[in-house]
A = this chain, B = another copy of it.
């Protein structure tokens, strides 16, 4: 029999041992994940500040390490809020420390932020990270490493510089082992799709081969930022109720429900507590464990609550999404593009909003080829992996009968779906695709069907237009001849005036070319 050794490991150590959880499973995937983590932090920082993001990304190859991998220097800079100097070391050098542990929509996968990227850089290159940041005052520059065993930052240097230019933002510069050539395509796709849903962002990317990619800002307009909200009584679990009871100053259950949950007025609280079989006058701190569990279960079943407050969500908006798609796909007025935003809905007590778009036409055929291409977003993050396992693919390829809308499988078409929620229904731990939660699936389906009805009209009119044009060109070709022969036949010298006739035909064509009529909204299919 062997001795058993018991010990505790730090969260840093856990993620060091299980870094694939955060997407750092190999040099190619790690390169992609590093950029994604830092860019998403930067976008969030700019949106919190309320300024259109200027993101600058540069990857420089430092040395080759063999079998396709190299050491790269990665720099990501933004003009966001900046991090207060006293928080910089822990924000970037301590796993599970940050600003995202509150209830509102934010980017990022597990709230591990950039720390996991810095950790990966450190264990592959053993070089420190340099973080430069200003919240408007002095510029603070830290060189740091992470003490993985104790999950705390080791500060190697801290310099303070005067901020004459009034710069605000954060720049992170680190070294990591990566594989650019194998991750290149995904990094480009990630940035392009990010630009599509953030048309107010200017993203500059200089790749290791010195190529510059610029995703330009086309508007200064930004969607309203998400607000932190109280939990909804239906989406909260036993632990959430317990934590609220621990901190509440309320002396009655009625007061407790009204104070700490969204959309619960005194009347609703009273009705709910009666249905749950709990005295509204009871002190929340005196609830027994069984009563607490009963309360949570009753909340799930109770129908009288308001729908979850969607103000913690930050959809892109039809106007901005349209601008972003038009820009990144390079659409012209000839192409079809229609964007819809659905009303807020909920699943299992979590609010969500679906936004969707379809683009169709010659430009897409020229740039992306024929066939239906899907772009998926969750909380404004592009999802690039496992497309065919997700709910969007299911709706597009299994549920919607495109024939109804005159679309064939090789039509040049792009489908865009954005789901925003305080809890995206990811299907697996990797968080690369969304599950087919019935409510979410229904919203996506209805969004795409309502657009597809417009598309059918567009396609019908394109078909009619083509037919009319063909007819007109025949008339134009033969009418003069016919007029001439007819004139000769009846011995007239001058053929009849064919202009009025041709004009009548042209009228039909120009009508077909007039702007799209709005399609009346039909009753939605369930």
Binding site for B on A (CB under 8 A): 1-2, 4-11, 13-14, 16-18, 20-21, 48-50, 65-66, 71, 81, 84, 87, 90-91, 94, 96-99, 101-102, 110-111, 122-127, 148-149, 225, 227-228, 237-239, 242-243, 289, 292-293, 297, 300-301, 426, 428-430
Chain B residues within an 8 Å CB radius of A11: 11, 14, 96
Q: Is the CB of A239 within 8 A of B122?
A: yes
Please report the C-alpha to C-alpha distance between residue A243 and residue B148 in the assembled complex, in whole angstroms.
10
Beta-carbon contact of B239 and A123 below 8 Å: yes
How distant is A279 from chain B, measured CB to nearest CB, in Å?
19
Query: Shortest distance in angstroms between A261's beta carbon and chain B's nearest beta carbon?
Result: 18
Indicate if the CB atoms of A8 and B90 lie closer than 8 Å: yes
Q: How far is the CB of A380 from chain B (nearest CB, A)?
A: 17
Contacts of A237 in B (CB 8 A): 123-124
Please tell me if the beta carbons of B292 and A6 are within 8 angstroms of each other in the complex. Answer: no
Q: How far is the CA of A125 from the CA of B17 in the complex (A)?
A: 31
Which of A81, A96, A97, A111 counts the most B-chain CB atoms under 10 A from its CB? Answer: A96
Q: Are B239 and A148 in contact (CB under 8 A)?
A: yes
Chain B residue contacts of A300, Cβ below 8 A: 66
CB-CB under 8 A from A428, the residues of chain B are: 20, 428-430
Whether B20 lies near A429 (C-beta < 8 A) is yes
CB-CB nearest in chain B for A432: B428
Q: How many Å from the CB of A15 to the closest CB on chain B?
A: 10
Expressed in whole angstroms, the minimum distance between the Cβ of A526 and any Cβ of chain B is 20
Once the chains are docked, how many angstroms separate the CA of A429 from the CA of B112? 15
A13 to B243, CA, bound (A): 12
A28 to chain B, nearest CB (A): 13
Our pick among B5, B10, B90, B429 for the contact of A6 (Cβ within 8 Å) is B90
Partner of A101, one of B7, B97, B289, B426: B7
Q: How far apart are A386's CB and chain B's nearest CB, in angstroms?
A: 9
Contact of A238 among B50, B97, B124 (CB under 8 A): B124
Asked if A18 contacts B110 (CB within 8 A), the reply is yes
A125 partner, pick from B18, B87, B293, beta carbons under 8 A: B293
Give the nearest-CB partner of A109 in chain B: B18
Q: Which residues of B contact A110 (CB under 8 A)?
A: 14, 18
Q: Is the CB of A16 within 8 A of B239?
A: yes
Q: A81 vs B14: C-alpha distance in the bound complex, in angstroms?
A: 25
Across-interface contacts of A87 in B (CB, < 8 A): 6
Q: Give the residue of B8, B126, B430 whose beta carbon is less than 8 angstroms from that of A292.
A: B126
Please, which residues of chain B bring their CB within 8 A of the CB of A49? 1
In the complex, A397 Cα to B494 Cα: how many Å? 81
Minimum distance in angstroms from A51 CB to a CB of chain B = 9
Complex Cα gap A435–B18 (Å): 16
Which residues of the partner chain B approach A91 to less than 8 Å between Cβ atoms?
A: 6
CB distance from A176 to the nearest CB of B (A): 11
Query: Which chain B residue lies CB-closest to A385?
Result: B428
Tell me how far the C-beta of A40 lies from the nearest C-beta in chain B, rounded to whole angstroms.
Answer: 15
Closest to A429 in B: B429
| A229–B381 alpha-carbon span in the complex (Å) | 43
**A48 & B7 in contact (Cβ 8 Å cutoff):** no
Complex Cα distance, B6 from A429, in Å, reads 25
Residue of B nearest to A300 (CB): B66
A429 to B289, CA, bound (A): 34
Are B123 and A2 neighbours in the complex by a CB distance under 8 Å? no
A6 cross-chain contacts in B, Cβ below 8 A: 84, 87, 90-91, 97-99
Contact of A429 (CB < 8 Å), options: B7, B8, B21 = B21
